[in-house]
Amino acid sequence: MARAAVSAAILAGGRNTRMKNHKAFLAFDGCPIIQRTLNGLYSVFDEVLVIANEMDRYAQLDARVLPDVIPHQGPLSGIHAALTHAVNPYVFVVACDMPFINVRVAEFLVAHAEGYECVVPVIRSYPEPLYAVYGKSCLPKVQDFLSTGRRRVVDLFSTVRVNYISESEIRDLGEPEKIFFNVNYPEDWARVRKIVQKTGASDTDNANGKTPPVVCVVGTSDSGKTMLVTRIVSELKHMGFRVGTVKHAPHGADLDVPGKDSWKHAQAGAEVSAVVSPQGVALFRAREAESSLEEVVAQFRGADLALVEGYKYLSYPKILVSTGKSWKGNAEGVFAVAGSAPPGMELPSFDRDDAAGLARAIVERLGLEGRQSTGESE
């Protein structure tokens, strides 16, 4: 089946009663679970939806965030909303608490959808309804289930045409124990960290090398973010880490010098141009819209981490540079304050000159202890 015929949807409508923190935004390797899932799905699907009833919490994501049509009826109402809102006849559905998205499995399920209303993997003799493909032809039956109080997704399968995919077929594409692992309890999250240490993160890592974890340094204008970033970079380099940096310029910036040859190339219509010298390479790419942070950081092959100045509304791990005044940003992900914390924010605080302490906090937050690069090229 063609990619263009399938959408994807992340179900994030749960009430999260068993976890202290919202599990969709738990981060490992510097990236929240839901953002890792989005990154993977965007590499396969042209339309990706997030089905969530807490609209404000998910508003900063680079995706269409839509509510349940019939709220508070469990995952089946999320599937109902995904099928209702999607523009394509099929939807790949995945839960927001499954940290190890495997896009090869998603593509495999999609490829086996033609002629069926659902494609469902069976792992340890049990169907996995929240890592499955659903056709819009299911919608009337899903509607009927919800209207009569039937909420179990697996009960739907006896009423529609299902292509069950065996565990052995899935195992050819990855480890089912990892792919279908989901986070419901704090001890599950502890196990995720052990899995990452043992086997790596997931198939959302780019094909040309692992996408590095991200920490954003945020704060108000003229708060000293740039100076702090440069000092932290120096400290991390001294510790043996390879660091990439990103500067966000949401109000625009001149990326090339008017009058230079590369600028003339772009003015003539070149969509991509580069300047190459013995000292390095600079690549200029014309874009109608701003690139996502994920797209940019995916280019940082060989870096141990990316230190980003800005993006205060994203949910990546963040250091807030603060003078103690109120701050209008997304507090999700803030793990340290450089300076005086804003009112109501109780977090570890560092002196703004303590770049060494902040560098150590970053290494600890990202779980990078003992993972410094050797300095050899890959």
Residue 165 and residue 69 share a domain: yes
> What per-residue string of b and e applies to 272-306 under the rule 16 or more CB within 10 Å gives b?
ebeeeeeeeeeebeeeeeeebbbebbbbbeebbbb
Which burial class, exposed, middle or buried, applies to 308 when counting CB atoms under 10 A from its CB (0-12, 13-18, 19+)? Answer: buried
Residue 186 and residue 43 share a domain: yes
In a domain, 270, yes or no: no
Closest CA to 315 of 23, 14, 20, 7: 23
Residue 218 and residue 177 share a domain: no
Residue 132 and residue 83 share a domain: yes
**Would the CA dihedral through 64, 67, 70, 76 be positive or negative?**
positive
Residue 181 and residue 43 share a domain: yes
Residue 243 and residue 161 share a domain: no
Q: What is the mean pLDDT of residues 160-187?
A: 91
Q: How far is CA 91 from the centre of its chain?
A: 19
Full residue range of the structural domain in which residue 362 is found:
214-250+290-366
In a domain, 89, yes or no: yes
Choosing from 171, 199, 227, the residue where a domain stops is: 199
What are the structure tokens assigned to 3, written together? 């990619």
Measured CA to CA, the distance from residue 253 to residue 13 in angstroms comes to 38
pLDDT at 353 over 60: yes
Whole-number pLDDT of residue 116 = 97
Residue 130 and residue 175 share a domain: yes
Q: In this predicted model, what pLDDT tens digit does every residue of 242-255 receive, in sequence order?
A: 999 999 887 666 66
Residue 218 and residue 183 share a domain: no
- Read off the CATH number of the domain in which 322 is found: 3.40.50.300
Mean residue pLDDT of the chain comes to 84
Most confident of 180-189, 229-238, 295-304: 229-238
How confident is residue 15, by pLDDT bands cut at 50, 70 and 90? low
In a domain, 52, yes or no: yes
Choosing from 174, 199, 224, the residue where a domain stops is: 199
Q: In this predicted model, what pLDDT tens digit does every residue of 290-334 receive, in sequence order?
A: 677 877 887 787 788 999 999 888 878 899 999 888 888 888 889
In a domain, 372, yes or no: no
pLDDT at 208 over 50: no
How confident is residue 206, by pLDDT bands cut at 50, 70 and 90? very low
Most confident of 72-86, 167-181, 218-232, 335-349: 72-86
Per the model's pLDDT, the better-predicted residue between 56 and 375 turns out to be 56
In a domain, 322, yes or no: yes
- Read off the CATH number of the domain in which 138 is found: 3.90.550.10
| Number of compact structural domains in the chain | 2
Residue 169 and residue 65 share a domain: yes
**Would the CA dihedral through 267, 268, 271, 277 be positive or negative?**
negative
SS3 91: strand
Whole-number pLDDT of residue 201 = 58
Q: Is the pTM of this model over 0.85?
A: no
How confident is residue 179, by pLDDT bands cut at 50, 70 and 90? very high
Residue 341 and residue 297 share a domain: yes
Element (H, E) at 350: strand 349-350
In a domain, 265, yes or no: no
Which range among 139-143, 265-269, 302-306 shows the weakest confidence by mean pLDDT? 265-269
pLDDT at 128 over 70: yes
Residue 224 and residue 85 share a domain: no
Residue percentage of the chain with pLDDT more than 70: 87
In a domain, 246, yes or no: yes
In a domain, 269, yes or no: no
What are the structure tokens assigned to 344, written together? 């109501």
Residue 83 and residue 18 share a domain: yes
